Structure 1
Amino acid sequence: METPASTATAETPRPVDRADRIRSIDVIRGVALLGILMMNIPYFGLPEGILGSLKFDHPGDANYLTHQVIEILFSGKMRALFSMLFGAGVILLTTRKEHSAGLSIADIYYRRILWMVLFGVIDAYVLLWTGDILYAYGLCGLFLFPFRKLAPRYLLLASLVCFGMLIFKGHLRFQDMRGKREAYLKVVALEKQKKKLTDKQKDDKKAWETVVKNGKPDQKKINDEIKNVRSGYPTVWAYYLPINTKIQSSVMYEVYFWDVIGMMFLGMALYKLGVFTGRLRRRGYLAMLLIGYGIGIPLGWWVHQETTLAHGDFGRYLDSHFLPPNRMTYDIRRVTMALGHVGLIMIIYKSGWLRWLTGALAAVGQMAFSNYVMQTLICTFIFFGYGLGNFGRLTYYQLFYVVAGVWAFQLVFSSLWLRFFYFGPLEWAWRSLTYWKRQPFRISQPDSETVVSSIQA
């Protein structure tokens, strides 16, 4: 016979018990969340028009070397990890047994996803982060539910199809550029022969000259961007409005959708294969580390050299390549390096090394939503005009001092917060909105055992 207590438990949504959390996933998510800031910080702190010059113009200096390390080891790889873990979370959410009576799993899943879409809109259009990923994750998440029961091999196939679409689209864009370049060279040859140009040939010449011009820093645009972003909130909002609109519409359609959902499919497959949950033996994770880094690092170094060539002379870069090295190898580099990172993290985790660090990273990962938005708030306060107004004042490598400071703060803050609360503040709000019922939040009497477990869980 069912007791009232058991009935209440079955009908009332409750926090996920700390013992029920998969700690290894929280640790990996914590690494990914902190790592994402390395890629985001340049767009918080510097005008886009000078980023290329700072990163490439002086090989061997601090900016160049910093960019080289970030690009080879982390750029795109942390977001890939974060996207994979979102896919893993789809499986976790839809297989739990703790949902309230009267709500189907589809109800709960789509409520969560639709709230995430709204949070993404707020992050972009209210908090003014143009690199927001919550909106993209929410839109892609709308498509994932029907795929949750597929076998890993079919999820891997779906992932490959998405990556194939990205490669195909990138190839088309590259060939379009090559076409403009070839048309321009034909016009130059005609000019050398003193032949009169048709209107179309003049347009062909202008089209390539526009490409070259747009690839160089425009000091007036840089100064305008600095002036606008160092202004008050209304000016910053108006400046970023068209940028946000473009990113969340055409860029989302052309690139982000296939990028994000492809990694989510891969994450769903890897979760089912036990990669994120520690089911593999240590030698399996060692193989992931060696193969992932063995492919990803040399390939990343080669592409970085080619990208430097493209920055220095884009025309020569197009002339010397039929296929774009960056786009053709992008997802290979991301996946191999991301899996290498997972292998390293899981070896450390399963070996019991650095428990103080993995415990803090798990806390960051458990509060990933709150910490992600917190990074937006901290960085906009530091750099934008309605805060400290430091936009454009630091050079590229100096931005990573800010990254280190934010990391230290979030590692400590997350561990302390979870001593007293079940969730991060945004995780609590998200869950309460999903169930349309206020969720337990504060741990009433955290004893010493709870405090320790909250740091480690």
Structure 2
Amino acid sequence: MAPQPVAKADRIQTIDLIRGMALLGILMMNIPGFGFLGSGFNAILRNPTGPDFYTFAIVGTAFEGTMRGLFSMLFGAGMVLFTQNKRELENGPTVAEYYYRRLLWLVLFGVINAYVLLWRGDILFFYGLCGMLLYPFRQTKAVWLIGLAVVCMGINSIRPELWYSNLRGNRAGYLEAVNLEKAHKKPTEKQKEAKAAWEKFEKNFAPNPKKDAKERKEMRSDYGTVFAHLLPENSNSETFYTYYGSWDMLLMMFIGMALLQWGFFSNKLPTSTYAVTLLVGYGLGLPISWFYAVVSQIDWVQHTGQMVDNYRTLPFQLYDIRRVLLALGHASLLLLVYRSQVVPWLMRALTAVGQMAFTNYLMQSIICTLFFHGYGLGYYGKLAHYELYYVVVGVWIFQLIVSPIWLQYFLFGPFEWLWRSLTYWKMQPMRRTLATV
């Protein structure tokens, strides 16, 4: 029998459940990219009061980076499950061929998400590339996978640290040059260069109404104008993150592979283990996250020079540590709620959302770009930061209702069906009445 997609009866429901939560949570992080001027965050942090700031603080502290981190963990776990559920055929494609074919299609879907659907924050492209590196480690012991994650975390910290070290050097040169000028002395060429570099850096924090007006105008225009506006941003981000930004995805994928071996995602651990993980994850993660996401960012915008003077290392290096802690805390909380059977209807709906995660992710791109871009409703830059989350809640309700209804009649979401058909190069059954599950 040829390899085929996993039947519903063989799926691990709690993995779909956690994936559903992570997928919905990702929209909380993505929504500013869909409809909010990037400069708006600096304005919020310069005046940290009111609903915009409180929304920023809550979302940033509890969720920023953690939902994508959790989604990356589940992606790593899913890649292992994909290889485990396939049997080699003597004269057919190998499991490795199916695996890499699946990921190559995912890369293409990422390109479509970025350049056709015009979402500037696509992750499918990078997941496809990172996933290609996981296959040799599919049978690696959990302890070594955690070791690989730590290595990735270390590598991920090198470039920001080098950048910050250079920034501190420019800051020191700037201060030296200013002091010499006040004393009516001439700075050295090196000090002049450092002074110019620091002033250029500080200029990035200054409001730029002309740039903001241009951004609004182009993002509220026709499809061709929006495409041209986002083209350099998307192409530059794909190049940059392929070389420098993939380490944070890989470290989470390796952790996810290890957690799968330990039975964490499949709900096999004692309730006490999930309770302790919840307490540790939130007990350590939330205070660190408050410092990282709120305190440090306010200082960074309001007192950049003083912050560079006072911190020998970049405070934002706490990013990976706090997102691991909070991701595990979120997953543990959800599994404890699942075991308690308090809201079974919500658990079923989240599981359906997770089972259709690929469709729901692309659906979020379609809905939000049509809502915010000019070739749709043109709401880009019109909503306050806190008002963006009305849109988030609306999309959540829609996907929580539609996903379970869809899966009553169909085996897969439409994009899952397409992806599977392309992976196996064979039309997969779609309607429930046409296949045995």
- The verdict on a shared fold, with TM-score over 0.5 as the criterion, is yes
Aligned match for 2:368, one of 363, 379, 388: 379
Report the number of matched residues: 435
Could you tell me how far 1:398 is from its partner in structure 2? 0.5
1:251 aligns to what SS in structure 2?
A: helix
Q: 1:75 to 1:370 in 2, by over 3 A?
A: same
Could you tell me how far 1:118 is from its partner in structure 2? 0.5
Could you tell me how far 1:306 is from its partner in structure 2? 2.0
Partner of 1:3: none
Q: Which amino acid aligns with 1:314?
A: T
Aligned match for 2:132, one of 139, 142, 166: 142
Aligned counterparts of 2:31 and 2:359: Cα–Cα separation in 1: 17
Question: TM-score, normalised to structure 2's length?
Answer: 0.97
Deviations 1:40-67 (A, max 9, x none): 000100121222213x122231111111
In the alignment, structure 1 residue 413 sits paired with structure 2 residue 399: no
In the alignment, structure 1 residue 424 sits paired with structure 2 residue 406: no
Aligned match for 1:344, one of 333, 337, 353: 333
Aligned counterparts of 2:433 and 2:112: Cα–Cα separation in 1: 32
Partner of 1:26: 16
2:422 aligns to what SS in structure 1?
A: helix
Aligned counterparts of 1:168 and 1:213: Cα–Cα separation in 2: 25
Which segments of 5 or more consecutive residues in structure 2 lack a partner in the other structure?
Answer: none
Deviations 1:361-407 (A, max 9, x none): 00000000000000000000000000000000001011000000000
Aligned counterparts of 1:204 and 1:331: Cα–Cα separation in 2: 30
Aligned counterparts of 1:208 and 1:427: Cα–Cα separation in 2: 49
2:432 aligns to what SS in structure 1?
A: coil
Q: Which amino acid aligns with 2:114?
A: A
Aligned match for 1:169, one of 135, 159, 182: 159
After TM superposition, list the pairs within 5 Å mapping 1:235-250 onto structure 2: 235-250=225-240
1:396 aligns to what SS in structure 2?
A: coil
Partner of 1:233: 223
Aligned counterparts of 2:66 and 2:206: Cα–Cα separation in 1: 27
**What is the RMSD computed on CA atoms of the aligned residues?**
1.6
Aligned counterparts of 1:392 and 1:364: Cα–Cα separation in 2: 29
Partner of 2:191: 201
The answer to whether the 8 Å contact 2:173/2:190 transfers is no
In the alignment, structure 1 residue 284 sits paired with structure 2 residue 301: no
**Which range is displaced more, 297-306 or 401-410?**
297-306
In the alignment, structure 1 residue 273 sits paired with structure 2 residue 262: yes
Q: Which amino acid aligns with 1:89?
A: G
Deviations 1:246-274 (A, max 9, x none): 100023312x2101111101100010111
The answer to whether the 8 Å contact 1:115/1:430 transfers is yes
The answer to whether the 8 Å contact 1:15/1:422 transfers is no
Aligned counterparts of 1:90 and 1:14: Cα–Cα separation in 2: 15
1:390 aligns to what SS in structure 2?
A: coil
In the alignment, structure 1 residue 399 sits paired with structure 2 residue 388: yes
Q: Percent identity?
A: 49
The answer to whether the 8 Å contact 2:86/2:95 transfers is no
Aligned match for 1:434, one of 406, 415, 423: 423
Partner of 1:4: none
Partner of 2:58: 69
Deviations 1:420-442 (A, max 9, x none): 11000000000000111000001
Could you tell me how far 1:307 is from its partner in structure 2? 1.6
Partner of 1:119: 109
In the alignment, structure 1 residue 79 sits paired with structure 2 residue 63: no
Aligned counterparts of 1:235 and 1:20: Cα–Cα separation in 2: 46
Aligned counterparts of 1:169 and 1:402: Cα–Cα separation in 2: 36
Aligned counterparts of 1:147 and 1:355: Cα–Cα separation in 2: 36
Aligned counterparts of 1:239 and 1:186: Cα–Cα separation in 2: 40
Q: Which amino acid aligns with 2:369?
A: T
Aligned counterparts of 1:18 and 1:74: Cα–Cα separation in 2: 30
2:433 aligns to what SS in structure 1?
A: coil
Deviations 1:139-170 (A, max 9, x none): 10111100101000000000000001112222
Could you tell me how far 1:14 is from its partner in structure 2? 4.3
Q: 1:94 to 1:444 in 2, by over 3 A?
A: same
Could you tell me how far 1:15 is from its partner in structure 2? 4.3
The answer to whether the 8 Å contact 1:367/1:414 transfers is yes
Deviations 1:296-322 (A, max 9, x none): 011111222122111101111111111
Partner of 1:104: 94
